[in-house]
Amino acid sequence: MNYLDIYQTYRKKIKAYDYALWLISWDQETEAPERSNDYASNQLEVLASAQYDLEMAEERLEAINHLYDQINDLNDEIKIEIKKVKKSIDRLLKIPKESYIDYQVLLSKSSKVWAEAKHNNDFESFLPTLEKIVEFNRLVVKLYETDTLKGYDVLLDMYEDEMGIKEYDQFFDTLKENLVPFVLEKTKKKPKFNRALTRNKFSIEGQRAFSKYLLDVFSYDLKKGVLKESVHPFTSGVSSTDTRITTAYHEDNLISSIFSTIHEMGHAIYEQQVNESYDETLLNGGTSMGIHESQSRLYENMIGRSYEFWAQHYPKLQEIFKKELKKVTLDEFYAYVNGVSRGLIRIEADELTYSLHVMIRYEIEKQLFNGKLKVKDLPKTWNKLYRKYLGVTPKTDTEGVLQDIHWAGGSFGYFPTYALGTAYAAQIYHAMNQDIDIAKAISSNQIHLINEWSKEKIHQFGGLKTPKEIMLIATKEPFDPHYYVNYLIEKYKVILKD
């Protein structure tokens, strides 16, 4: 066997374990009975360990090194794959096995510690755990640093290729200059909505029916997907032929499930439309967190919160909730789904203020990894930044620094991709509008045209192109955050005009 064959033989095996681990986790999060959890964890551990042994097999590493040495003789697909694999293995080998295992053990317990601390508004009880997690990530930074990649950049690069402090600073500075003043000026008043929307109960059954309707509207392919329910909505894809989503229904919030379903469809349609032949490779799925989020946000916000969309689909919602929505006009409903307020909670934030929540986390992470901020001082800094950029102050750490699970899971460098993806979305939306009349596509119930454009310009490539390359292909220019700021200000100066 030549090295390529060896590599591909291992890949086939490793992907089978990916599949098993993916399915166990999907099952546990959506359907598995409560008491099955311990048993499932034990089996998962065995399978993950078998997969690790395959990944680290001498024979495989040797094959990868040989292929890397002759990288220019390989075709594009495999070349890109080998580069990625080589990078990830080189990194893994740098971490002392003992530290790695200690960290995995720490993480396996940390989300429970975090959840309890959040529940009890007790940051101190989470502090020792969080300090250890940060410490490990500081070690990772040290071990992974290269001539061109330093400090927090190491972590940022893990989630979004070629995005570092320099690029993110530029991005967030644009928001600070243009968006923060607009937000602070325009959100002084609390918005008022038709009370039928905020006071009524909306049956889960009715919401389920509307979510099913939405699958059809967006052409989410149920032959290659599933819609289920879970505590927190998510997308979970393992191949272009199997990309599943969940949503969550709340009786006292009609639109939460609607926008979750649309958001997750954005993620899922991306993965469903990746070149099917990549399913056997490591190029399946999206290329980066940022591009992924651009798709979910474009579907959720640019399509799902547009006036054209609700002009077309509000009648169906009214048909389902005859009694509850009888006295709510289309304009009132549109105002409601685009309601803006200064909030404390990121995942409840509106389209306009969302990125400012992310920016705060970015500033904090940057300081954590350049040594300017100690973990114990997180709550103080958090609250200060919320006052500065959103004009609000958390009364408790529960609704402040403890609100997100990400840090408890060791994810540093991840948050910024949420804002970046949202900004990508505005630029992609602008470019798409040059090729197709988006408003018309939405009004004439032809969202499949948007899917097709996205497939051609973005989705089909999977992991073959970098985020930068994707932006160039899709929008014909590099990423420019002004599209995002302009989009928001254009939209919200109308909505917030009085």
**Options 215-223, 299-307, 433-441, 455-463: segment touching a second copy (CB under 8 A):** 215-223
State yes or no: residue 212 binds a second copy (CB under 8 A): no
Q: How far is the CB of 454 from a second copy (least distance, A)?
A: 20
- Distance CA(247)–CA(238), nearest Å, equals 18
Q: How far is the CB of 31 from a second copy (least distance, A)?
A: 6
Among 60, 118, 224, 459, binds a second copy (CB under 8 A): 224
The closest alpha carbon to 155, from 390, 417, 401, belongs to: 417
Give 45 or 73: the residue with its C-beta nearer to a second copy: 45
Residue of 264, 324, 363, 365 marked catalytic: 264
- What binding mask, one character per residue, do residues 241-270 give for a second copy by CB under 8 A, x or -? xx-x--------------------------
> Encoding tokens for residue 66?
């040989």
- What binding mask, one character per residue, do residues 9-38 give for a second copy by CB under 8 A, x or -? ---xx-xxx-xx--xx--x---xxxxxx-x
Contacts of 330 (CB under 8 A, 6+ apart): 310, 311, 314
**Options 151-159, 217-225, 375-383, 447-455: segment touching a second copy (CB under 8 A):** 217-225
Among 1, 2, 39, 387, binds a second copy (CB under 8 A): 39
Q: How far is the CB of 44 from a second copy (least distance, A)?
A: 8
Contact call for residues 299 and 263 (beta carbons, < 8 A): yes
Q: Spell out the long-range contacts of 214-219 with Cβ–Cβ below 8 A and sequence spacing 24 or more.
A: 214/258, 214/261, 214/262, 214/265, 215/261, 215/265, 217/313, 217/445, 217/447, 218/262, 218/265, 218/269, 218/299, 218/447, 218/451, 219/269, 219/447, 219/448, 219/451
- Distance CA(134)–CA(408), nearest Å, equals 10
Residues 116-145 that bind a second copy (CB under 8 A): none
> Encoding tokens for residue 9?
């033989």
Q: Give the helix ranges, DSSP H, for 56-96.
A: 58-69, 76-94
Q: How far is the CB of 226 from a second copy (least distance, A)?
A: 6
Give 17 or 193: the residue with its C-beta nearer to a second copy: 17
State yes or no: residue 437 binds a second copy (CB under 8 A): no
**Options 63-71, 106-114, 234-242, 441-449: segment touching a second copy (CB under 8 A):** 234-242
CA of residue 154 relative to chain centroid, distance:
19
Among 97, 190, 192, 223, binds a second copy (CB under 8 A): 223
Longest dimension (CA), the chain: 72
Give 122 or 221: the residue with its C-beta nearer to a second copy: 221
Give 7 or 354: the residue with its C-beta nearer to a second copy: 7
- Distance CA(416)–CA(355), nearest Å, equals 9
Give 136 or 270: the residue with its C-beta nearer to a second copy: 270
- Distance CA(102)–CA(106), nearest Å, equals 6
Q: Tell me which amino acid residue 496 is.
A: L
119 is in an annotated binding site: no
**Options 155-163, 195-203, 237-245, 287-295: segment touching a second copy (CB under 8 A):** 237-245
Residues 347-406 that bind a second copy (CB under 8 A): none
The DSSP symbol for 436 reads: S
Contact call for residues 183 and 353 (beta carbons, < 8 A): yes
The DSSP symbol for 228 reads: E
Among 164, 206, 225, 416, binds a second copy (CB under 8 A): 225
Q: Tell me which amino acid residue 215 is.
A: L
Q: How far is the CB of 260 from a second copy (least distance, A)?
A: 20
The size of the interface with a second copy (CB under 8 A), counted in residues, is: 38
> Encoding tokens for residue 368?
């954590």
Residues 50-89 that bind a second copy (CB under 8 A): 50
The closest alpha carbon to 209, from 307, 299, 316, 303, belongs to: 316
The closest alpha carbon to 469, from 287, 297, 295, belongs to: 287
Give 71 or 222: the residue with its C-beta nearer to a second copy: 222
CA of residue 73 relative to chain centroid, distance:
35
Active site residue 264: yes
263 is in an annotated binding site: yes
Q: Which residues pair with 235 in a beta bridge?
A: 245
Q: Tell me which amino acid residue 330 is.
A: L
Residues in the chain, overall count: 498
- Distance CA(183)–CA(107), nearest Å, equals 37
- What binding mask, one character per residue, do residues 265-294 give for a second copy by CB under 8 A, x or -? --------------x---------------
Among 4, 8, 40, 341, binds a second copy (CB under 8 A): 40
Q: Which residues pair with 95 in a beta bridge?
A: none
SS3 35: helix
- Distance CA(259)–CA(345), nearest Å, equals 16
448 is in an annotated binding site: no
Q: How far is the CB of 263 from a second copy (least distance, A)?
A: 20
Beta strands 242-247 and 235-239, pairing class: antiparallel
* Contact residues for a second copy, defined by CB under 8 A: 12-13, 15-17, 19-20, 23-24, 27, 31-36, 38-40, 42-44, 46-47, 50, 221-226, 228, 238-239, 241-242, 244, 279
Residues marked active site are found at 264
Known binding residues for Zn(2+) are 263, 267, 293
Annotated binding site: 263, 267, 293
